Structure 1
């Protein structure tokens, strides 16, 4: 199996659009020599021509979500190994492009990959705005778009596409699981601090609807410019003065880490229960249990959840020893694996029809070590359980990676938005 990475790290948009991204030659997973950076393949030892497949990950490794995204390539590679593409005679090349949190960058990369590079599928575009922009390009070019990191539920709602699969989580799932659980635990008054872009805005809207639907009240909200804010003190002090019992954070990555640290410094956590509407265990390890303990969060995957998640983590860990995969990275693994299964089932030669590939993915039940059995709904929404979890205290933790404990499991049909409520225009309900 040959895996070549093309990194656009530090490249200007014009350079990426011209196709002059930096070629990085990677070792083959079986220890053999590296392939050419242009992905040119060789013949198999028995003389047969190897089948060539080209995939792409569009992400950001320089912004506030950088550490959350770094294990993504390792997880895609693990899917190729677990599917044994080498034994099947497939040469698979994975391209890596950076959008720097700009939708126009993501669109330019996607167009170039589809038109010039011959990319067969894009595995992830990890923010809401960038993913919505690329979804239109994938549909226009009839290529599969397999998303894991973005949160907007619009991807399976009014802006759904027959070429898109949305794995792992969305704003509705996080809002429903965390909002319902906190109100039932007595957290009936809420204050929101969130990033002022589509992800943060929709997360607040979805959670507000859940809280108020459960009989709770929202006493206020504050939105900050993204990604230029580092001082959250004034917003946190307003939240503390509001009298709300729950502080809900609608951000992620470095912004979330800074918000929680500053909430700890100002003693906000002593008078309010803090719910992070999107926390990865990566964030918790950066914060440390002393600061993050007691934080409530919803997860779709956690490495120590069961025997299968532990087995996956053990396999992928040598590829990313410092940053273990979070749920978004795990979603890239699972989506890639299911995509490969669909190609094998329908015939490798049919891969050019992206909508047909996605239709086959929907027709086949899903099953992998990260999420267990599940399915992909007609609107592209991947269904699996959600898990309400809490950050452990230092005394409860065995080591630095042992950071979350399970409180409750939410069934797939309860966790995700009902199909009839999404408004996907090509689905009849």
Structure 2
């Protein structure tokens, strides 16, 4: 019986020794091992064997990056306003031995160091600078904390200000200021809209006046060109009409003259015709009294001598003039263009160019262009 008890005690002792000599350290954790009360080694992510009753694990440290949020802390700004600021610190243990032996509680140490550094940084800023300089405050906090915690085996990755709460009275003042700023911006935007609308309206009026002036100019050009062409065509028509009238009279005279030559009139016939013409001459309103000359026979005789030649029987007979063939004839080719009704190509081209210029739209100038528009001496638009 005693032997069984002794055997059981030995087996129990062996189990305890085996349990004490084996330690499993998971990944992302580090175990600080001491031997006889002094630091021996650091094990991480492996199966570690310990010397029974001599080695022990002092502490296990998490090697992952940790996020610690600290409660709001009262901080006084440069303009003597109390703010409540809470921070978030991202850090990681890089040296487990230093984190265990250099500081007793590194989390509490990081918290207190963050508070003191935050008060130092914010104490040199006004409220407005504090509210608008978060990135600067974060950078300064990270630099100071990373430098101070380096000997503790820590690496500070980031420091963020979670919230900045000013006093209630300051919040009300800020809300009023924000409301006033929004109202001011609304008034400015409204004024800007009115100004832009006025500019657009003025620009539209300017373009309308430009188009009206351009249209009036082109209309005046076309009207003047039309009047000129109309005057030219009327003059050409009157010239052609006078020519045709003169030509008709010439033809009539030629016909009468030819008939007279063909009839070979005698002085007796001329006297008879003259006597028939006298009553017609007397029918005019201006001819109240007409006289027959006493030497009427001698006058007819002299007239017959100019037209005829005295024959053997003593009678004057008509003899054709020898100078008829010397009378120059009018060349119809010289006046052929007077009766041409086709449009002059140069005139048609000028009219087409004027119509094209009248239909050409005027390009609008930019809205922001506020300089004046004027007319050059030659009628061109200048800016």
Fold conserved (TM > 0.5)? no
Structure richer in helix, relative to its length: 2
TM-score by length of 2: 0.19
- Greater relative CO, 1 or 2 (CA 8 Å, sep 6+): 1
TM-score by length of 1: 0.17
